[in-house]
Structure 1
Amino acid sequence: MEFDLSWILLGLPLAFVLGWLASRFDIRQLRAENRRAPKAYFKGLNFLLNEQQDQAIDAFIEAVQNDPDTSELHFALGNLFRRRGEYDRAVRVHEHLLSRGDLSRTDRERAQHALALDFLKAGLLDRAEDALNRLEGTPFEAQARLALLAIYERSRDWPHATTIARKMHEADQGDFSTRQAHYLCEQAAALAGQADHAGALALLEQAVAAAPGAARARIDMARLQHLMGQPAAALATLKALGEHNPAALPLAAPLMVEAAAATGRSAEAQALLQEHYDGGPSLDVLESLVAIDTAQGAGEGARQRYVDHLDKEKSLVAAAKWLAGEKLEHEDFHPQVQRALDHAVKPLTRYRCAACGFEARQHFWQCPGCQTWDSYPARRVEEL
């Protein structure tokens, strides 16, 4: 049978034409898809700029369906879900990204960070902790450690918080020495509550070594030493506080008076407190000086201190203290007047957080309102 070359001559052009038509069809389809995806993307962006999040989410979902391999659209969609409080949907988006084998290392780390934020916002602290720990050694390491620190503080997991703070300090990610001291003081307070005074004292010594200029460690140490029947050691600790952090001495002034009285060194404490008071009048130091004078039998001298203070400061608190011991012409009305004054000065004797303005009758090392450390000055509201 002879082979007819005419079929080849006819088939080659036909195959060429069919191939060309197929390629044109594929190109047109690809162009159409590419046009649909950017159009949906920009539509979503426009809705987002107009704060129409529902419409933006619908547009991004459409864009993701048209081009499921686009990671940026997934990130945009996940962030939108998180902002709307739809944390379960945000988690699914970011977990889908992490399950992709073709995801670059940069995008994988970014998706891991986004997933950790989803868990944090949702209040799933255990899962957030695990996700954040996976960010060690990535560009998100510093942010992850800060988030872990917040988790451990919130759950009062002070040993883990101490470890993270030490890592950040050693990595030059900030000065966390004072924060480490606070965590050690918290652990010491827990041990002291269990009557483990030796263990608590050891932790407080570590806190002083970690942050020599921090006030809390020395104040807590002095209070513990006084409780253990070591007033001389407590007084020495408070004298060191006056040298390293004199601004915090008003917080420890009443304790200094007690320790000095127990050791028969009230004159020494009085001289130290007077020197501090002369450098800057303080209501707490004033009260401690009055307490020493009263204990020594100098009642009139003690009351004179309030008058001298009024020459330096316009203090309603000092005026009320002085008036409490004064004989009035209409003495029958004195109790009512004194009650009114005491009620008026009560808000002035509070402490106020410098970060959020939360006021409290006692001094806090960490604000109960905004959770900021060392935001309470060692001065009363009237003195600010």
Structure 2
Amino acid sequence: MELDLTWILLGLPTAFALGWIASRLDLRQMRIANRQAPRAYFKGLNHLLNEQQDQAIDAFIEAVQNDPDTSELHFALGNLFRRRGEYDRAVRVHEHLLSRADISQADRQRAQHGLALDYLKAGLLDRAEEALRKLEGTSYEGQARLARMAIYERSREWPEAAAVARLLEKSGEADFGTRLAHYQCEQAREEVQKGDSAKALDLLAQALQDHPRAARPRLLMGQLQLSQGQARAAYENLSVFFEHNDMAAPLAAASYAQAALACGLATQAGDLLKAHYQRQPCIDVLDAITTLEAHNTPSATTSEANALQRYLDHLQNHPSMMAASRWLNGARNEVGVLPAPVQKTLENATKPLARYRCAACGFEAKEHFWHCPGCQSWDSYPPRRVEEL
């Protein structure tokens, strides 16, 4: 069969024309897709700025579908899911990023950090810890260690928390000396609950040796020594609070008075407490003074009169419902028995003022906490009660 040159001459231009048309169609589709992706992206940003998270998520999902290789959109989507509490969807986004082989090392570390935060917010502490460990040696190492330390604190794994705190200290993040002393105190409390007071005292002694300026180990040691019948040792330990005008002195006042009475040093303790009270007036210290004076005064009538006068003097210089309540309780013989409604009203008005309040979150409690049960902050409770702040 002879080859017809006419068909060849006609076919070549036709094929060229069809190829050109196809390329133009592909280019048009690319332009449309490129226009759609930025439009969806900016639309999502607009919704995000207007705090319309549902619409922002829909827009970012549309953008990701148009351009699945854009890692920044995935990060934005994962963060939005986490903020909304949709942790399972946030995990899937960050796991998808980690499964990709085409992302940079920086983006891979960022995705690993995002995954750890997803688990942390979801309360999956074991998975969060595992994810955070993988960030060792990366630019997120410091943040990961802080998060791990918070996990160990929440789960009361004090030795593990201490190990991470020491790593943070070595890297120059901050000084965690006081925090380490708290960890040893927490371990000592656990040993007391187990009945091993000797081990608890060893832990507290080590804490004092490592961190001599920390107030909590000294206070707990004095209280534990007092409960173990070591009144003289407790007295010497707790005296430091009042000799050095320590801010934690109000917390030690009651135990110090008991230790002084137990070892026969009520007079010396009373003088030290009075000197401290003159510098830093406080109801707890005043209560300890009246307790010691009641022991040192032979006459009960004279002792009661002295206590009433002390509370009255305090009221004149520092108006206080707590001091007024104590004065009324001691002055029943003079003012008579208060009517029940009046007495109940006074007690109800005084109770909130006798609480301790966290300076970080405002959580109030009857007892003083070194570790706030509300916001998990350390040393956020002032040693003075609400009324005296």
TM-score by length of 1: 0.89
Q: Could you tell me which residue of structure 2 aligns to residue 164 of structure 1?
A: 164
Q: Could you tell me which residue of structure 2 aligns to residue 231 of structure 1?
A: 231
1:69 counterpart SS class = coil
Q: Could you tell me which residue of structure 2 aligns to residue 312 of structure 1?
A: 317
1:326 Cα offset (Å): 2.5
Which residue identity is paired with 1:137?
G
Write the deviation string for residues 43-99 of structure 1: whole angstroms up to 9, x where unpaired: 322333333333332332222222221111111121222222221111111101001
Contact 1:214 1:245 in 2 (8 A): no
**2:375 pairs with 1:345:** no
Give, in whole Å, the separation in 1 of the partners of 2:124 and 2:237: 43
1:10 Cα offset (Å): 9.9
Which residue identity is paired with 2:354?
T
Which residue identity is paired with 2:96?
H
Q: Could you tell me which residue of structure 2 aligns to residue 331 of structure 1?
A: 336
Q: Could you tell me which residue of structure 2 aligns to residue 104 of structure 1?
A: 104
Q: Could you tell me which residue of structure 2 aligns to residue 246 of structure 1?
A: 246
- The match for 2:361 among 351, 356, 363 is 356
**2:30 pairs with 1:30:** yes
Q: Could you tell me which residue of structure 1 aligns to residue 180 of structure 2?
A: 180
Change (3 A) 1:302 1:151: same
Contact 2:242 2:273 in 1 (8 A): no
Count matched residues.
Answer: 383
Gaps of 5+ in 2: none
Write the deviation string for residues 105-156 of structure 1: whole angstroms up to 9, x where unpaired: 1100110111111111212111111111111222222222222222222222
Say what the alpha-carbon RMSD is for the aligned residues: 2.9
Give, in whole Å, the separation in 1 of the partners of 2:387 and 2:18: 91
1:245 Cα offset (Å): 5.9
Contact 2:75 2:94 in 1 (8 A): yes
Contact 1:350 1:362 in 2 (8 A): yes
1:312 Cα offset (Å): 2.2
Change (3 A) 1:242 1:136: farther
205-214 vs 355-364, which moves further = 205-214
Give, in whole Å, the separation in 2 of the partners of 1:85 and 1:377: 34
Give, in whole Å, the separation in 1 of the partners of 2:54 and 2:106: 29
Contact 1:315 1:382 in 2 (8 A): yes
206-215 vs 183-192, which moves further = 206-215
Give, in whole Å, the separation in 2 of the partners of 1:323 and 1:61: 69
Q: How does 1:356-375 map to 2 (within 5 A)?
A: 356-375=361-380
2:247 counterpart SS class = helix
Give, in whole Å, the separation in 1 of the partners of 2:343 and 2:51: 58
**2:222 pairs with 1:222:** yes
Which residue identity is paired with 2:178?
T
Q: Could you tell me which residue of structure 2 aligns to residue 124 of structure 1?
A: 124
Q: Could you tell me which residue of structure 1 aligns to residue 387 of structure 2?
A: 382
Give, in whole Å, the separation in 2 of the partners of 1:50 and 1:322: 58
1:246 counterpart SS class = coil
Change (3 A) 1:303 1:114: same
Change (3 A) 1:142 1:15: same
361-370 vs 188-197, which moves further = 361-370
Change (3 A) 1:35 1:277: same
Contact 1:215 1:245 in 2 (8 A): no
Contact 1:324 1:338 in 2 (8 A): no
Q: Could you tell me which residue of structure 2 aligns to residue 212 of structure 1?
A: 212
Which residue identity is paired with 2:42?
F
Q: Could you tell me which residue of structure 1 aligns to residue 148 of structure 2?
A: 148
Q: Could you tell me which residue of structure 2 aligns to residue 93 of structure 1?
A: 93
Contact 1:320 1:338 in 2 (8 A): no
Give, in whole Å, the separation in 1 of the partners of 2:332 and 2:210: 53
1:51 counterpart SS class = coil
Q: How does 1:66-77 map to 2 (within 5 A)?
A: 66-77=66-77
Give, in whole Å, the separation in 1 of the partners of 2:10 and 2:41: 47
1:286 Cα offset (Å): 0.5
77-86 vs 184-193, which moves further = 77-86
1:104 Cα offset (Å): 0.4
Give, in whole Å, the separation in 2 of the partners of 1:69 and 1:339: 70
TM-score by length of 2: 0.88
Change (3 A) 1:250 1:102: same
Contact 2:308 2:331 in 1 (8 A): no
2:379 counterpart SS class = coil
Give, in whole Å, the separation in 1 of the partners of 2:114 and 2:234: 49
Contact 1:246 1:276 in 2 (8 A): no
Change (3 A) 1:303 1:330: closer
Which residue identity is paired with 1:309?
H
Change (3 A) 1:12 1:200: same
Give, in whole Å, the separation in 1 of the partners of 2:67 and 2:338: 84
Which residue identity is paired with 1:81?
F
Give, in whole Å, the separation in 1 of the partners of 2:228 and 2:332: 43
